[in-house]
Amino acid sequence: MGGHSSYQPKSAFAKWFHERLPIMDLIQGQALDFPTPKNLNYFWTFGGILTMMLGAQLLTGIVLAMHYTPHVTMAFDSIEHIRRDVNYGNIIQKLHANGASMFFLAVYIHIFRGMYYGSYKAPREILWMIGVIILLVMMATAFMGYVLPWGQMSFWGAKVITNLFSAIPFFGDSIVTWLWGGFAVDNPTLNRFYSLHYLLPFVLAGLVGLHIWALHVPGNNNPTGVSVKSGQDTVPFHPYYTMKDAFAIGVFLIVYCLFVFFAPDYMGHPVNYEMADPLKTPAHIVPEWYFLPFYAILRSIDNKLLGVIAMFASILLLLVLPWLDTSRVRSGTYRPVFKQFFWILVLDCLLLGYIGSRVPDNLFWVDTPSHEGGFALTNKLVGQIATLYYFVHFLIILPILGLLETPKPMPASISEAVLAKNKPALPGHKAAVPAE
Amino acid sequence: MGIVATGEHADSDRRDFLYIATGAVGAVGVALTAWPFISQMNPDASVLALANVDVDLGPIAEGQSVTIKWRGNPVFVRHRTAKEIEEARAVPIDELKDPLARNNNLKESDPATDINRVVGGKEQFLVMMGVCTHLGCVPLGEQGDYGGWYCPCHGSHYDTAGRIRKGPAPENLLVPRYEYISDTKIRIG
Ligand code: HEM
Ligand code: FES
Q: Contacts from B37-45 at CB under 8 Å and sequence distance 24+? A: B38/A178, B41/A178, B41/A179, B41/A181, B41/A192, B42/A177, B42/A178, B42/A181, B43/A177, B43/A180, B43/A181, B43/A182, B43/A183, B43/A188, B44/A181, B44/A188
Cα A128 to Cα A72, A98, A125: the distances in Å are 39, 26, 5
CB contact under 8 A, A160 and B137: yes
**Domain enclosing residue A47, as ranges:** 27-285
Would the CB of B83 count as within 6 Å of ligand 2? no
Q: Is B79 an active-site residue?
A: no
Tell me the CATH number at A394. Answer: 1.10.287.980
Is there a contact between B124 and B62 (Cβ–Cβ < 8 Å)? yes
Distance from CA of B80 to the nearest CA of A (A): 21
Q: Which ligand sits nearest to residue B137's alpha carbon? A: 2
Q: What is the pLDDT of residue A424?
A: 59
Strands (E), A16-71: 35-37
Co-location of A97 and A237 in the same domain: yes
pLDDT tens across A66-93, in order?
999 999 999 999 999 999 999 999 999 9
Distance from CA of A186 to the nearest CA of B (A): 7
- pTM, 2 dp: 0.90
Give the one of A163, A279, A360 whose C-beta lies nearest to B74's C-beta: A279
Q: What is the pLDDT of residue A435?
A: 40
Strands (E), A248-369: none
pLDDT tens across B59-96, in order?
999 999 999 999 999 999 999 999 999 999 999 999 99
Mean pLDDT, residues A306-334 taken together: 96
Q: By C-alpha distance, which of B173, B178, B97 is closest to B136?
A: B173
Co-location of A173 and A309 in the same domain: no
Co-location of A313 and A224 in the same domain: no
Tell me the CATH number at A53. Answer: 1.20.810.10
Distance from CA of A78 to the nearest CA of B (A): 22
B130 touches chain A (CB under 8 A): yes
Q: ipTM for the complex?
A: 0.85
Contacts of A192 in chain B (CB under 8 A): 41
Q: How far is the CA of A232 from the centre of ligand 1 (A)?
A: 24
Asked if residue B1 has pLDDT above 60, the reply is no
Q: What is the pLDDT of residue A1?
A: 42
pLDDT tens across A138-180, in order?
999 999 999 999 999 999 999 999 999 998 999 999 999 999 9
HEC string for A362-419 = EECCCCCECCCCCCCCEHHHHHHHHHHHHHHHHHHHHHHHHHHCCCCCCCCCHHHHHH
Cα A224 to Cα A117, A174, B72, B94: the distances in Å are 8, 51, 57, 62
CB contact under 8 A, B153 and A285: yes
CA gap A180, B48 in Å, rounded? 13
CA gap A142, A201 in Å, rounded? 10
pLDDT tens across A49-72, in order?
999 999 999 999 999 999 999 999
Co-location of A194 and A279 in the same domain: yes
Helix (H) or strand (E) holding B70: strand B65-70
Q: What is the pLDDT of residue A135?
A: 98
Last residue of one domain, picked from the residues A240, A257, A285: A285
Q: Which of B9, B79, B154, B157 is catalytic?
A: B154
Asked if residue A276 has pLDDT above 90, the reply is yes
In 3-state terms chain B splits into helix, strand, coil percentages (rounded to 5) of 30, 25, 45
The Cβ of residue B98 has, within 10 Å, a number of other Cβ atoms equal to 16
Q: What is the pLDDT of residue B167?
A: 85
In chain B, where the domains are located: 1-42, 48-188
Higher pLDDT, A57 or B170: A57
Q: How far is the CA of A433 from the centre of ligand 1 (A)?
A: 33
User: Does the domain at residues B48-188 carry the CATH identifier 2.102.10.10?
Assistant: yes
Would the CB of B173 count as within 6 Å of ligand 2? no
Number of domains in chain A: 2
Percent of chain A with pLDDT over 90: 86
Q: By C-alpha distance, which of A219, A158, A235, A172 is closest to A415?
A: A235
Residue identifier of the C-alpha nearest atom 4 of ligand 2: B154
For the purposes of burial, counting CB atoms within 10 Å of the CB of A221, is it exposed (0-12), middle (13-18) or buried (19 or more)?
Answer: buried
CB contact under 8 A, A188 and B134: no
In a domain, A411, yes or no: no
In a domain, A212, yes or no: yes
